[in-house]
Amino acid sequence: MAYLVAEERGDGNRLGRNGPAARAATLVTRLQSMQRQINAKNFAVLRTNGRGVAATRKLACVLHNWGSSCEENARDLIDLYGEELLQHLDHSLLPLLWNGQGEHQTAEAPDFAPFTRRLKARTLPYSGIAFPVRLGAQGNGYVVFAGSYIDASGEQIVELHGRSAHIMTDLLAADEKRLFKTEALSDREIACLQMAGDGHISEEIAEKMGLSVHTVNAYLGAATTKLDSVNRIQAIAKAIRLGYIS
């Protein structure tokens, strides 16, 4: 069975037992255990691209075990349901169910029907269930399980939804660890962010630090990029959460 970690392909296996490949293997084991509980054959983790502007957001498949047909299955899922999934993520955390073509069905889960939403059946060759997860500005998306017949009780749906949230939290934590190791902020970038967070504009920061306004803006721009943020305000918020500034 082939696994894909979209952000860590290539020489990831050379990173050692504590590297991205090891973390991905742990996540795969947990997801396989989850899929077996509901008779699913495959899993996929979809994440938003992390940009704050709704019109530019997209879902990307970052981890799955769809094997040789993985790219086609991931693309079809996002093409057919992507916009619906994004809109649902903004307004609800109810799990989503759908039926595939022919005999590919998802159980009705009657004891939990009021707390799920069923999508209109389309041309996917598998049925599925998608658990939405919102973690804030970053780390949002879905954990998806697919197969010929998904058989989930209400109790299982509740349990798997909670475990899906833990999967997404661990993926976000891995992103932040990678940021610390490879894109750590410089002392000047941290100082500029701290002063900006304290309410100072670029001109005031430049005067206090003995720099030009252009240089201050360059430091703030670099920090914003490293923190994968869309603007200075979001960068400050993330820097606080990561412990760079207070």
Pick the CATH number of 185-242 from 3.40.718.10, 3.10.510.20, 1.10.10.10, 1.20.1440.20: 1.10.10.10
DSSP string for 180-223: HHHSPPPHHHHHHHHHHHTT--HHHHHHHHT--HHHHHHHHHHH
Q: What residues does CATH 3.30.450.40 cover in the chain?
A: 4-181
Q: What is the pLDDT of residue 5?
A: 45
Outline which parts of the chain fall under CATH 1.10.10.10: 185-242
Give the model's pLDDT for residue 246: 77
In this prediction the pTM is: 0.65
C-beta of residue 193 within 8 angstroms of C-beta of residue 245: yes
* Per-residue pLDDT tens listing for the chain (246 residues): 334 444 333 333 333 345 556 667 888 999 999 999 998 999 999 988 754 455 567 888 888 888 765 567 777 888 888 899 999 998 999 999 888 776 556 666 566 677 788 888 777 878 889 999 998 767 789 999 998 888 888 888 999 999 999 999 988 887 766 665 546 788 999 999 999 999 999 999 999 999 999 999 999 999 988 887 888 888 888 888 777 887
- What pLDDT is stored for residue 34 in this prediction? 95
- Between the CA of residue 226 and those of 91, 180, 197, 213, what are the distances in Å? 29, 10, 17, 20
Q: How far apart are CA 245 and CA 156, in angstroms?
A: 41
Residue 195 neighbours by CB under 8 Å, 6+ apart? 204, 205, 208, 209
The matching CATH number, chosen from 3.40.50.1000, 3.90.1150.10, 1.10.760.10, 3.30.450.40, for 4-181 is 3.30.450.40
Amino acid at 79: D
171 touches 140 (CB < 8 A): no
Intra-chain end-to-end CA distance of the chain, in Å? 46
